[in-house]
Structures are given as structure tokens and as C-alpha cells.
Amino acid sequence: MNFEYSDKVKELQQRVSAFMDTHVYPVEMDYKRHYATTDKPWVTSPLMEELKAKAKKEGLWNLFLAKQHGGSLTNLEYAPLAEIMGRIIWAPEIFNCNAPDTGNMETLVLYGTDEQKERWLKPLMDGTIRSGFAMTEPRVASSDATNIECAIVRDGDEYVINGRKWFTTGGMRETCELYILMGKTNPDAERHNQQSMILVPRNTAGVNTLRSVTTLGYHEYPLGEAETEFDNVRVPASNILLGEGRGFEIAQGRLGPGRIHHCMRLIGCAQRALELMIERSEQRTTFGKKLSQHQSVREDIAQSYCEIEQARLLTLKAADQMDRFGNKVAKDIIAAIKITAPMMACRVIDRAIQLFGAAGMTEDFPLAESYTYARQIRIADGPDQVHMMSLARQLVKQHVG
């Protein structure tokens, strides 16, 4: 197994790192202050637009799109770049590599018609509009997606949508123009053929944004996690993706890359937390010694390093298998890294917060917000328990034949 990155990847790592060092880290606190003081928190900041323009000019744009889908990089090649971007949780948007837009763009690439691609994919790839993925519902346990109740009913040349969604990332922002919504077109069909996905323009009559749902107290400006009511929403029948009853098929194609992208970014979050932990341990003293001289602190640093390295290698292996064998064949190792990476990041960031003391829980450092992101992903991309259940079922099946 070759653990060395190619010259192409090394060069891109250097370019993305240099961009972060030159343009992003120096304005990290300015970005935070903007959303702490603005009266328009759902509007993309001018600073973000400036950074996006610079990244696009430097050719550091849409790096997420896999080579087999028309992009320039494999999943394996993209992984270390996503890690660098993930060191600041809002940085991926600078490179047009942020969730949920990356997953929605891949969905349109794979399953959209030429007309849908022209109308929606093109401006998303250009970064001029944003989108949301409306799947989770407040009234049912959405960890089992077959529970979803939102109704999509055919009426002539239209579909009529009724239901309620929440935690739709990006649904609050002013530039969000499209929802990809999952709902039921046929409740009487086989369990995994009841759901469909459909494109819903956000400005359609009956799409009512009810509130921004917080995550551990964070509104996640300017994206937001919208709770939205769909009240007799009518869209053209041509907005259905791939056809009725194929929602799970699309979800599997979408969630494989989406899940591993989160893992890549979380490794960046955890790596930065470790580096901040090491720096802090050299700057502070207790009981007559630097924090770095206390045995328990040394153990936390060492354990964090080991856990990050393990998760990084597993992520790279999963990315490699996706490239070589496809998402369906790689589903077990995708499940494994989805279980491993968020829990690892939670542990590492929590140790860093503990070492920072009270300061670690404030907005003065990125740790509290990073922890919120890591903890959210243990649910948002499918609960740990669901991935464990699915993975164990496959492993038992393989073992007993």
C-alpha cells in the first residue's frame, strides 16, 4: 500500500494551505464578529464573497467533485484537501466545497436531467445560489428514513407536497433557492420504494420557513437549520428526480460521498484542536509546571495524535475503495469511518476544551463551535447506532455466508 501523496496532490495541498494561511486564518475573528453584530445574519458576508472570488481566481474551486462525475480529482486525492479546509468549519464554502451544496450538486450531476442541470446545477457550481436538503422530519424518527411522512402526490402535470421538515442545513440563508426534498409518493409500495426525491424551488407558494433550529445553541449563521412547512406546494411533475420510488437509490448515491466528506473535514477540525492543545500546554502553568509537563496532559496529547492518525488512514482507505470499486461496494468501510471519525473528533476536541479550561467554551477559540459540528454529525448524517447496525449486519452476513 502506497502512503505517499502524488505530486499533483502535494502541490494542491500546498496551494490550499497557503490560501488558508494568507487569506483565511487572518480574518477568522473578523468573520465571527460580522455575524455577532450584523442585523442580517442570513445574508452571506461580503468577506465570504471576497474569499470565494479569490479562491475561484486561483483555481481552488469545486475540488469536491469526483473524477468519475466530471471533476478533476479522485475521492482519495480530495481527502487531504478537505482536511485542510475543515480546520475552520466555514472555510469549505470559500472553495465551493461545503455541505449540503456538494451533496446536492453531486445528486444533480448523477440524477438530474439536462434541463435541471442548466437551471440548478450550473449556478450551484458557480456559487451564485445555495441549496438545502430537506429530509429529516420533526414528527417521526428520521433515523429510519422509511418513517418519513411528507406526501408527494401526483396531480396531472404537477406534484403536490404536504409535510414538515427541519434541520435543513442552509435553508435559512437568503441565497438558498432550491430544496431537494425526500417524501412519499406511494405509501403502499414496498418499504424502500415508497420514497422519491423532488426539486422544490424555495420561493414556491406554500413553502413556509417557520424558524431556525439551533444546534447546541448555535444558529449556524448564515446557513441556518430551517424548520419548513410545505403546505400544498405545487411543482411541475418534471421536477421529480429519476422517477417515483427511487428516493433510497438516490440517497445511497448521495450519502456515500457526503458522509466521507464530513469525515475528511472533521479530521481537519480534530487536527487543529490537537495543535491548539499543544500550543496552550506550553503557554500555561499550573502547580509550578507547564501544562505540557503534567503526565495527564501528555497522555491526552498522545492519545489524540493516535486517534487522529487512525481515523485519517481509515478515511483514506474508504476514499480509495470508493474510487476503485464504487460507493455500493465500499459501503461497509464508509459506515466504519462514519462511526469512527465523528466520535474521534468529539473526544479530541473535548480534551482540548478541557485543557483550555473556561476559555475553551467561549467564542474566543474555535473549539466550542468545532465540538458542536462534530457532535451534530454523529446524528445528522445518520446516527452512530444505524451505521453500527448496518455494518454489523453485513459483517455477520459475510461471516455466515
- 47 pLDDT exceeds 70? yes
Q: Is the pLDDT of residue 67 over 90?
A: no
How far apart, in whole angstroms, are the C-alpha atoms of residue 33 and residue 270?
23
Nearest CA to 144 out of 103, 104, 191 is that of: 191
Structural domains of the chain, with CATH: 7-126 (1.10.540.10), 130-245 (2.40.110.10), 248-400 (1.20.140.10)
Q: Compute the distance between CA of residue 136 and CA of residue 86 in angstroms, rounded to an integer.
A: 24
DSSP 121: I
pLDDT of residue 255 exceeding 80: no
pLDDT at 185: 98
Tell me the DSSP string of 28-72. Answer: HHHHHHHHHH-S-TTSPPHHHHHHHHHHHHTT--STTSBGGGT-S
Q: How many helices (H) and strands (E) does the chain have?
A: 12, 9
Q: Are strands 289-290 and 207-212 parallel, antiparallel or unpaired?
A: unpaired
Q: What is the pLDDT of residues 271-326, one digit of tens each?
A: 999 999 999 999 999 999 999 999 999 999 999 999 999 999 999 999 999 999 98
- Residue 39 is placed in which grid cell? 442585523
Q: What is the mean pLDDT of the chain?
A: 95
Report the percentage of the chain scoring pLDDT > 70: 99
pLDDT category, 256, cuts 50, 70, 90?
low
Return the residue matching grid coordinates 400544498: 232
Tell me: the pLDDT tens digits for 158-214? 999 999 999 999 999 999 999 999 999 999 999 999 999 999 999 999 999 999 999
